[in-house]
Structure 1
Amino acid sequence: MKIIKQSLLIVMSLAVLISCKNYNSINTKELSLKKSYKDKFYIGTAINQRQIEDNNSLESSLISKEFNSITAENIMKSMFLHPKEDTFNFDLSDKYVAFGEKNNMFIHGHTLIWHSQLAPWFKLKKDSLEMAVAMESHIKTIIEKYKGRIHSWDVVNEALNEDGTLRKSVFLNTMGKEYLTLAFKWASEADPNLDLYYNDYNMTDLKKRQGAISMIKHIKEQGVKIDGVGMQGHWHIDTPSIEVIEQSILDYAALGVKIAITELDISVLPNPWGLVGAEISQRFENNKLMNPYPKTLPDSIQTKLADRYNDIFKLFLKHQDKISRVTFWGISDKQTWLNNFPIKGRTNYPLLFDRELKPKKAFYSLLELPKNN
């Protein structure tokens, strides 16, 4: 009986140690995400200004240990990088690139042409020639600044409506659909060795997928280089289905382009009115039904999230020959934009590390997966 009690105490002590295990307590010789997937595809994360400036040693340690690719969350969008037509702010982007180089990472640029978070002066361009001159200067100045240091770019971001038609942005309104082809042309002229991507959300939806395929075919038919599609993974714990994600990967790969899974996070919260995607202009009211886990995530949902990530990454490994990069949109639940989208003040849990940077079940579910796939 005494032996049984001692055994139970040992088991309970181990359980407590495991449950309290945080990132710093992980042996540096243990597996990391980037080590587990090193022969498969890059494992990336988006980093914010605080992380770029290396203001938190624990976060910096986690980023350098777990990831071998980075994306700038916000600082390279035009309103920050090119706020006035004659003014570029390269201070933070210089630090971003230096951070990636210091940690021997694949460095991705996000994003050159986007209708949102747009520098206001772009909107003053009223005809096609003015806009073309502005776009070409913007694209080539930034790419040439980091030539040979940034390895790939989202050249155009979110140019499609949900029905697959082109979004009526200031670029489309002034230049017509050829602004897309020209953006990729100017980017490739500035650095022929770059990987050039079109990036968008809801790229698994049939109509939007068809629109993206048509767009990419058109660009390629003009003899212009486009290397890949960024499928934003702003997905839900239940949707889209694995079958739909797989068909989307196959459809894009059939175009002869690479697939990057970008902005990956899995929301565990209810979607108001069935909202999908990442249209940041949409906002809704907060209430208890929309914010069911304000303090902590129940174990049952933790397990469901881990299973969802496991199923998704099994699919990625199945198609590893088509996938160049998988990038999480942030490093922890504390950082995630989903705490405020599409409803401000909610508590979401979409990433692999919790608010204290402790690894979640979802993290451990992915570590050993490549060994058997």
Structure 2
Amino acid sequence: MFVPDNSLISCAGLKRFVPLLACLLLPVTLQAADDKTELQLKDHFAEQFKIGAALSEAQILDKKPGVLDLVAQQFNSLTAENVMKWEEIHPSPQQYNFSTPDKLVSFGQKHDMYMVGHTLLWHQQTPDWVFEDEKGNLLERDSLLERLQLHINTVLGQYKGKVQAWDVVNEAFNEDGTLRDSKWLAIIGPDYIEKAFEYAHQADADIALYYNDYNLFKPAKRKAVVKLVKQLQSKGIRIDGVGIQGHYALDYPDLNEVENSINAFADTGVTVMFTEVDVSVLPFPDEDNQGADISLDMALQQQFNPYADGLPSDVEQQLAQRYKQIIDLFIKHQQKIDRVTFWGVDDGQTWRNDWPMTGRTDYPLLFDRELQLKPFVKDIIN
């Protein structure tokens, strides 16, 4: 939090003797680059956790004026929304597309940001050729492991010393805690997760290695990931953290269960991150499948797109209250949480506008479509 020098010293001193809330209640007088009085999230939460954002390809390429300036001002951690996923960064056997990821990493380095690579292994957005030989037949286990290791070595080699952490494996579990039925599992077997972490550590021993998933508040899924962490640890395989994707809604999920997951993962000795935070205000067409399964694709129905012309004030108040509850939970467990990353910068580019129905109008982030910080965020922090 940027305050006059004497206030900053006072806040630091207070932190030793009174709860953090005392510091948070100090007046927010934060100076932006254009001399306007404006809140800077990364400074305000500097003593609690990193504040991150995921950037789309269009944003990385600066196609919407003002976004990168806003990101540099507000955030101190960056994640690529899509451009480091396999189909984007390694679309064919002999082709690697490093141009756009390089721009993201250079931007992060310029502004001294914590860079998180996303992701090395996922069942989605992985080209079919990865699992096939030149004749289109499925690979055998050893051949697929060799291909996985080559991919990890090449990508991590490109960003060694520039990217500080990687989501090594993404979304490997079903909601009931069983391993997801994927080609990785079918060809390699259940130890494919272990192999991915082993290869990543061998490729770059200096980076942090994370497992990342959604709906980790669900007891069965939570239990499975805790078991995974302990299994890796028991075998001497490095895992540094668990990323809890925070794709939430106004009444979903029960934050008591989210808190239980924070504690459960922290108890294993790894770092906890909230990696993809957003809060949808829209009704969801399939209550049993809320989360982040991008395979869901439904035709647009107007009853599930009620706010195309703007967000009513009463719903905005509900969003404010929900974000307050979530931020309160993060603050409560700040000693266990290393990073809070929002899955997007502003409402205009959020994936929530197109999932699970393309063309919806959602309002899930802290900045609106004009790149303005929503007033309720300042109210929460004050």
Is the pair's TM-score, using the shorter chain for normalization, greater than 0.5?
yes
Is 1:261 equivalent to 2:274 in the alignment?
yes
- Once the two structures are TM-superposed, the CA of residue 151 in structure 1 deviates from its matched residue by 0.5
Q: 1:356 to 1:78 in 2, by over 3 A?
A: same
1:244 aligns with 2:257: yes
Per the alignment, in what secondary structure is the counterpart of residue 289 of structure 1? helix
Q: RMSD of aligned C-alpha atoms? A: 1.7
Q: 2:131·2:144 contact (CA, 8 Å) conserved in 1?
A: no
Matched, 1:304 2:312: no
Contact 1:127 1:174 survives alignment (8 Å): yes
Q: Which secondary structure state, in structure 2, belongs to the residue aligned with residue 346 of structure 1?
A: coil
* 1:102 to partner: Cα distance: 1.2
Q: Which residue of 1 aligns with 2:348?
A: 334
Q: Which amino acid aligns with 1:350?
A: P
Q: Assess if the C-alpha contact under 8 Å between 1:83 and 1:120 holds in 2.
A: no
Return the alpha-carbon distance in structure 1 between the equivalents of residues 157 and 149 of structure 2.
12
- Residue in 2 that maps onto 1:208: 221
2:56 to 30, 48, 57: 48
Over 3 Å counting, the alpha-carbon distance change for 1:362 and 1:123 in structure 2 is: farther
Match of 1:12 in 2: none
Name 2:188's counterpart in structure 1: 175
Residue of structure 2 equivalent to 1:15 = none
Shift of 1:28: 4.6
What aligned pairs does 1:1-373 form with structure 2 within 5 A after superposition? 27-28=35-36, 30-124=38-132, 125-274=138-287, 275-368=289-382
Deviation string 1:164-200 (CA, Å, 9 cap, x unpaired) is 1001111111111111011101111111111100001
TM-score, L = length of structure 2: 0.87
Of 119-128 and 274-283, more deviation after overlay is shown by: 119-128
- Taking the aligned partners of 2:217 and 2:316, their CA distance within structure 1 comes to 25
* Offset at residue 362 of structure 1 (A): 3.7
Mapped contact 2:32–2:40 kept (Cα < 8 A): no
What stretches of structure 1 of length at least 5 have no aligned partner?
Answer: 1-22, 369-373
- Paired with 1:138 and 1:338, the residues of 2 have a C-alpha distance of 30
Deviations 1:219-276 (A, max 9, x none): 1111100000010000111111221111110011111110110111001111113131
- Which deviates further from its counterpart, 211-220 or 152-161? 211-220
CA distance in 2, matches of 1:366, 1:199: 28
Q: Measure the CA separation in 2 of the matches of 1:359 and 1:95.
A: 25
Distance 2:205 2:131 in 1: 29
The CA distance in 1 between the partners of 2:101 and 2:33, in whole Å, is 32
Q: Give the whole-Å Cα distance in 2 for the aligned partners of 1:229 and 1:288.
A: 37
Letter in 2 for 1:70: L
Deviation at 1:366, TM superposition (A): 4.4
- CA positional deviation for 1:123: 2.2
Residue 167 of structure 2 contacts residue 211 of structure 2 at CA under 8 Å; is this kept in 1?
Answer: yes
Q: Determine the C-alpha separation between the residues in 2 that align with 1:36 and 1:299.
A: 27
Write the distance in 2 (CA, Å) between the matches of 1:310 and 1:160.
Answer: 29
3-state SS of 2:348 partner = coil
**In structure 1, how many angstroms separate the alpha carbons of the residues matched to 2:344 and 2:34?**
20
CA distance in 2, matches of 1:344, 1:84: 28
TM-score, structure 1 normalization: 0.89
For the residues of structure 1 that align with 2:44 and 2:332, how far apart are their CA atoms? 15
Q: How many residues align?
A: 346
Give the match's secondary structure for 2:94: coil
C-alpha contact 1:113 1:155 (8 A) present in aligned 2: yes
Alpha-carbon distance between aligned partners in 2 of 1:217 and 1:101, rounded to the nearest angstrom: 34
Task: State the alpha-carbon separation in 2 of the partners of residues 173 and 120 from structure 1.
Answer: 14
Q: Secondary structure at the match of 2:303?
A: coil
Give the AA of the match of 1:54: D
Question: In the aligned structure 1, how far is the partner of 2:34 from the partner of 2:274?
Answer: 27
SS in 2 for 1:153: strand
The structure-2 alpha-carbon separation of the partners of 1:36 and 1:366, relative to structure 1 and needing over 3 Å to count, comes to farther
Give the Cα–Cα distance (whole angstroms) in 1 for the partners of residues 267 and 33 of structure 2. 44
| Per-residue deviation, 1:29 | 5.3
- Is the 1:153–1:195 contact (alpha carbons within 8 Å) kept by the matching residues of 2? yes
Distance 1:103 1:182 in 2: 34
Residues 12-61 of structure 1 deviation map (CA, whole Å, 9 limit, x = unaligned): xxxxxxxxxxx999745543000100111100000011221233341111
